[in-house]
Amino acid sequence: MLPVPGRGVYPFPPALSNRTRTRPTHKALSPHEIRAMSAHLTIALAPGDGIGPEIMNATLDLFKAAGILDRLAFVPVEMGSSVFAKGNTRGMTDEAIRTVEDCGILFKGPMGTPTGGGGKSINVTARKMWNAHSNFRVFKTLPGVHTAYSKAGIHIDMSVVRENIEDTYGGVEHRLSNDMIQCKRLISAPGSDEVHRFAFQTARKLGVKKVHCGHKANIMKMTDGLFLDRFKHIAKDFPEIEAGDVIVDALCMNLVVRPQQYQMIVLPNLQGDIVSDLCAGLVGGLGFAPSANIGNHISIFEAVHGTAPDIAGKGIANPTSLILSGLMMLRHVCMGREAATLENALLTTLESGVHTGDFGDNSTPAVGTQAFVDAIKNNLGNTPKTVPAVEVPSASETCFIRAPKPTGPQVIRTFKNLVTHPVGCDIYLDTALSPLALAEEMQRACVDTPFKLTVISNRGTQVWPTGSVYTECVDYYRVRFELKDGVVPGTFGQSRCVALMDKVAEMFTVCSYELLRTFDGVKGYSLAQGQ
């Protein structure tokens, strides 16, 4: 059985049902259509680009055959390449945004990111804008999908939970000098708490016995260190689940060598993106990897593979990933009975050897998208014989509930009432001076201040007061000023740091500035490499 969530798996507080009238989309709805939809659970529908419309139409055809459309109403919204082409850098219309926010669920096909023009990934934009904080992806050996692992008799059954909002996916980047570009990595305690709590709650629901945190806290001691610390803290609320952690590079090696040792892994955004695609490769590729992006108010279910423009319109695309994502969506809205019936039909079809051209036994003819779905429709009510059948619940009801709509952006907090004191600053400079020459200038700049120059680093490596002649420097330095001996923290605010920066700026181009502070007496900043 695919370990996908059922009733109660997501940590939504009690709220109102979404059985409400939807706002008009880009396509005007008739009064009859609006009245008809008011009796259904409404879901925003974005078919996607490239092969997206083909696999979405096939999936909806399958849903119709299974009676899903008697319970759900899909409202089309404008998203993707057609919107980008009109100069909208968000890739979605205002009407689409309102519809998704009214429905609380978006079911979407694959969408491409425009090359050039300033438009960012619509997938990332949607997840971040609606705070779909946790990406949940399931990876399982499927019958008829042959991989090196299935041929070796290794059965894979695992999931990856990826933080969806923060990390380098904040997209905060700057050109700092002729030769240096920066991308800021942002990790917060409340953001980490959200994804870790979701992971453990999902593990509890699915009966997962051990959850691993993947990280690089041995190098990124503050960002990944915080992510790991919050994992350990949240784990205390789930004593029946074993918590472990693994450095991400070792994790990748382990996944290739012995993937069956993992049941669930939770990771920061970028690492989670890489690891989840690696895991997809273990079970046949992204065409077999369902994906859900879960938020406290809005959730997104999508195929995460590409738009495959080379085969678009040919009717040969594989719809399995979108179908599996649709099953996750059905379970999300408590239609577990329908999801189980569909899943058994899919497993039976795969077991029988029916396949599209991208997988399966090459000695048997491949079928097109619609023929593949037709085979699943013909297997509705059947169960697989070579793999365990999915247990079909005795009853199912549409019970999707949502938290009340927030009145404005919410500020989420973890640590409160900490005592903080400014103790210095890091000033980042665009200069081609040597470390020694720069140190002489910086020491003169801080003579009449509460600060002393303590370190100069280049690309994170200390180059003053000690360093190696073999360290190559670029035109971007960090100069660190900390309190002189005898100066007591808390005797002044950050204005003295800003004044020092202003003094330095009279002589150099200041690219950026970071205030150094202690938090309850603990330094809130890292050392340079070699310091």
The yes-or-no verdict on residue 24 having pLDDT over 50 is no
Distance between CA atoms of 231 and 243, rounded to whole angstroms?
A: 8
Above pLDDT 90, what percent of the chain?
83
Dist. CA 215–CA 467, nearest whole Å: 29
Distance between start and end Cα atoms, the chain: 52
b/e per residue 96-132 (b: at least 16 CB within 10 A):
bbbbbbbbbbbbbbbbbbbeeeebebbbbbbbbebbb
Structure tokens at 116: 């050039």
Q: What is the homologous superfamily of the domain 16-339+396-402 according to CATH?
A: Isopropylmalate Dehydrogenase (3.40.718.10)
Report the C-alpha gap between 162 and 279 in whole angstroms: 13
pTM for this entry: 0.89
pLDDT of residue 3: 38
Same fold, 16-339+396-402 and 420-523: no
Under CATH, what is the fold of the domain 420-523?
Alpha-Beta Plaits (3.30.70)
* Mean pLDDT score across all residues of the chain: 90
State the pLDDT confidence band at 113, using cuts at 50, 70 and 90.
Answer: confident
Q: Is 203 helix (H, G, I), strand (E, B) or coil?
A: helix
Q: Which residue has the tokens 């979701």?
A: 198
Give me the pLDDT at residue 116, please.
58
Can you give the pLDDT at residue 380? 97
Domain edges within the chain: 16-339+396-402, 420-523
Please state whether the peptide bond connecting residue 388 to the residue before it is cis, i.e. omega within 30 degrees of 0: no
| pLDDT tens-digit series, residues 340-372 | 999 999 999 999 999 999 999 999 999 999 999
Query: pLDDT class for 497, splitting at 50, 70, 90?
Result: very high
Instruction: Residue 142: name the closest of 417, 348, 375 by CA.
Output: 348
Nearest CA to 398 out of 343, 329, 346, 326 is that of 329
C-alpha pair distances (Å), 14 with each of 10, 38, 133, 230, 395: 11, 21, 19, 26, 22
Rg (CA), the chain: 27
pLDDT of residue 6 exceeding 80, the answer is no
249: region left, alpha or beta (phi > 0 left; psi from -120 to 50 alpha):
alpha
What is residue 192's three-state secondary structure? helix
Q: What is the β-pairing status of strands 461-464 and 522-523? A: unpaired
**Mean pLDDT, to the nearest integer, of 432-447?**
97
For the chain, percent helix, then strand, then coil, each to nearest 5? Answer: 35, 20, 45
Amino acid letter at 261?
Q
For position 115, what pLDDT does the model report?
67
Share of the chain above pLDDT 70, in %: 91
The predicted structure's pLDDT at residue 527: 86
379: closest CA among 334, 425, 342, 410?
342
Residue 26 has pLDDT above 60, yes or no: no
Range from 28-37, 70-79, 460-469, 475-484 carrying the lowest mean pLDDT:
28-37
**What are φ and ψ of residue 514, in 5° steps?**
-130, 130
